[in-house]
Amino acid sequence: MAQIDLTQKLVQQLTVIYQDVEAVSDYEGLAQRLLTEMRTAESFKVPEPFANHWSEKDVVMITYGDSVQSEGEKPLQTLQRFMTTFTDDTINSVHILPFFPYSSDDGFSVIDYSSVNDGLGDWQDISDIASERKLMADLVINHCSSRSAWFQNFIKGEGKGHDYFFTASLSDDLSKVVRPRTSPLLRPTETANGLQQVWCTFSHDQVDLDFRNPEVLVTFVSIIRQYLDAGVRIFRLDAVAFLWKIPGGPCINLPHTHEVIRLLRSLIEHTVSDALIITETNIPNSQNLTYFGNANEAHAIYNFSLPPLLVNALITGSCQYLKRWLMSMPPSQNGTFYFNFIASHDGIGLRPAEGLLSEQEIYTLVNTMQERGGRVSWRTGEQGEQKPYEINIALFDALQGTVDGEDSKGLERYLCAHAVMLGLEGVPGIYIHSLIGTRNDYDKIKHTGQNRSINRHNWQFNELEAVLSNKFNEHHKVLSRLKALITIRIKQAAFHPNAVQFVLHLGSKLFGFWRQSLDRKQSIFCVSNVSNEEVPLRLSELNLVINNQWWDLISDNEIADISAELPLKPYQTVWLSNKI
């Protein structure tokens, strides 16, 4: 009976997706094909509604498959060795960025979804990593490589993929299409069926798929099943906001896109109950929040507004914008969570700051990051103007100073940023180059000609092992102090991703919030001095329960007098917890 209910649910979802597509009418037959591709019957289980398949122990390291290399060893095996050596006791999950054969964009232009890039390793290496920790993988679902067999068949007009791609007419009104890039939207392509204008949201090597063709959906469901078999348990839907297009409008965040995500969730969670979907939607905050649906769409969304707002707070010494944003954020329902990060393989996205930072604040942020050696990537605005899209910079360099210039407090400022992130509601993700304090890689920019390469350094394992073993080296200091914070975090019930969170009002220099465990036994007051001067924290303003013992988890100091003032050094964070 439950499997019949799932089939009926899929039929309803397919009806919503394809109701305007005349060529699709047999929704029940299509639903059965999807269930067959997913092999749902083999492990069918009705998912528990609003279940949290995560806890305070979950911390994700984000990395490329070849971020750490060793001569004579497959990079995925070297990565496994790095994690076993340096993170096993603290980080239980890993997001390996696209590990498939690709033609550009460091993996996000996939040639073959069914293969592992042989320059990295093979499926056995992926499964070995998945057997040791939770594995997140990218489902690059909006587009694929122009060098893929699918697109070559599109050009030939025959074979699998010949009808997989979205085309438009030069007479279509494309003036309202939202673009993350400045390149022309349409790519003229000679095919066996004549000249076609292929839709390219990102680049002309990244050709957009046409989900109006249900064969595209069926193919991606089969890909999901293959990844599940390899041990993938978290699916990152890359650039999914652009999935469905209707010329004449913005072609982003369309209802069909949301329904496709809901359908994929239905299939995945009825097949492997603890497998998750996270949507990568680098868009304004209010739009990003819609991808939770009613706890029936993405299990998690990226907290894209956090990086620009947190960096802004730390370079200006004022948390007013960060605090205002956090106050506006709804708590995640059970069954969903925020994915928090402050650095990534791309950069500090600026679209998620739109409407949260003024245009002047954004340009101050951009200018300050350029002074720290950063680069800027641009997009085309609605009126055809060039607007900053993201800042490309290594986070360690980004926080080596303020709007007033570089100073000596970079390490403490950097640790403060991570202490804030680690305390917030949600699951933290830490980019490997943030974990070890990698600096701007200007040589790689020269080699690739791409701004994003500045934060995509490739380490040699022996070199990295040497610097991480030297207690006087800044990379060792970063890793050891971040691991100390993570070690504390993963032991606190009040840091459960869905534990209660309230923003504290402590002025512009002290950023604070209160967390309470789901069983209400533990409270943690997280307070960070985001300025470069000492600021007193008046403990009386926190309303600490008088008959409890209070402790700063970070310094391991007891709070003897809860009515006193606690001086916070520049960029110092305290996690004040009751003894339980």
Nearest CA among 487, 477, 393, 466 for reference residue 437: 477
Q: Is 345 annotated as a binding residue?
A: yes
Catalytic site positions: 238
Q: What angle do CA 536, 542, 548 make, to 5 degrees?
A: 115
Q: Is 220 exposed, middle or buried (0-12, 13-18, 19+ CB in 10 A)?
A: buried
Q: Is 237 annotated as a binding residue?
A: yes
Contacts 24+ apart (CB under 8 A), 274-277: 274/53, 274/233, 275/228, 275/232, 275/233, 275/234, 275/235, 276/53, 276/233, 276/234, 276/235, 276/300, 277/234, 277/235, 277/237
Contact 155, 190 (CB under 8 A): yes
Q: Is 346 annotated as a binding residue?
A: yes
Residue by residue, DSSP assigns 28-57 as: HHHHHHHHHHHTGGGS--PPPTT-----TT
The CA distance from 216 to 113, in Å, is 13
User: What is residue 413's three-state secondary structure?
Assistant: helix
The CA distance from 313 to 532, in Å, is 11
Q: Is 561 annotated as a binding residue?
A: no
What residues contact residue 5 under an 8 Å CB cut-off, 6+ apart? none
Q: Is 236 annotated as a binding residue?
A: yes
Q: Is 105 annotated as a binding residue?
A: yes
The CA distance from 224 to 214, in Å, is 15
Q: Is 238 annotated as a binding residue?
A: yes
Report phi then psi at 279, rounded to 5. Answer: -95, 135
DSSP state, residue 190: E
Q: Is 357 annotated as a binding residue?
A: no
Residue 209 zone, left/alpha/beta (φ > 0; ψ -120 to 50; rest):
beta
Give whole-number Cα distances, 301 to 203, 221, 255, 281, 339, in Å.
24, 21, 17, 8, 6
Annotated binding-site residues for substrate read 105, 143, 236-238, 345-346, 452
Annotated binding-site residues read 105, 143, 236-238, 345-346, 452
